[in-house]
Amino acid sequence: MNQQLFEKVDQYISHLVAPEDRFLQETIQSLDDASMPQISITPTQGKFLQVMMLMCKAKRVLELGTLGAYSTIWMARAIPADGKVITIEYDPHHADIARRNIAKAGLDDQIDLRVGKAMDLLKEFIAKNEDPFDFIFIDADKPPYTEYFELALELSHPGTVIVCDNIIREGKVLDENTTDEKVKGVQRFNTMLASNPKVTATIMQTVGAKEYDGMAIAIVN
């Protein structure tokens, strides 16, 4: 694979259809400033999420894995004024940086940041009969992806779109003897997704600035 070519094409697409404003650029810079990992989605992936959200007319959005709120900002910009993105972040330090970025982008009213274990918070939402979400983006720790997805289904309605990131792991999903817990987590998730009667789903390989990976896209039946 020619990674340099993939990056150039990704930049070409981004400049055409997904240009970053200063708030998105500053959000990426804030990760370096705070010694956080540069594992946000790309601008083209952010625009992809927006297109998916507009297609399903998403008003209530759930995100697992806020990091610095880069993807959160992209998604919040695709909901109506009375919509809401609830985003969950486990790391309090990451959450503090994310809050600053959300405030700078002027999106405090559209984004509700919750801090804690996603598994616990999802179960809490279910116990409290939280209204279902129209769009769910899962981009958190990989070993429990299957459990996250199953809980997300309980917070969905027919037509809810669920997107899960990082499920090809540079092709490592093909290694049946892997000891990598992240890879094992997405292998288990992919197998579950393929046989889940509650959704119609596919998996798309992705290449670009973030190298080689993939996303699952599912719609609740």
Q: Please provide the DSSP assignment of 116-165 as one string.
A: S-HHHHHHHHHHTTPPPPSEEEE-S-STTHHHHHHHHHHT--TT-EEEEE
The reported pLDDT for the residue numbered 138 is 98
- Cα–chain center distance at 9: 22
CA distance 106 to 104: 5
CA distance 17 to 180: 36
Angle between helices 145-154 and 118-127 (to 10 degrees): 20
Note down pLDDT in tens along the chain; length 221 residues: 688 999 999 999 999 999 999 999 999 999 999 999 999 999 999 999 999 999 999 999 999 999 999 999 999 999 999 999 999 999 999 999 999 999 999 999 999 999 999 999 999 999 999 999 999 999 999 999 999 999 999 999 999 999 999 999 999 999 999 999 999 999 999 999 999 999 999 999 999 888 899 999 999 99
pTM tops 0.95, yes or no: yes
Alpha carbon separation from 148 to 52, 90, 92, 125, 140 (Å, rounded): 20, 14, 20, 13, 9
The reported pLDDT for the residue numbered 1 is 63
CA distance 69 to 23: 11
Would you say the C-alpha torsion 154, 158, 163, 167 has a positive or negative sign? positive
CA distance 194 to 220: 13
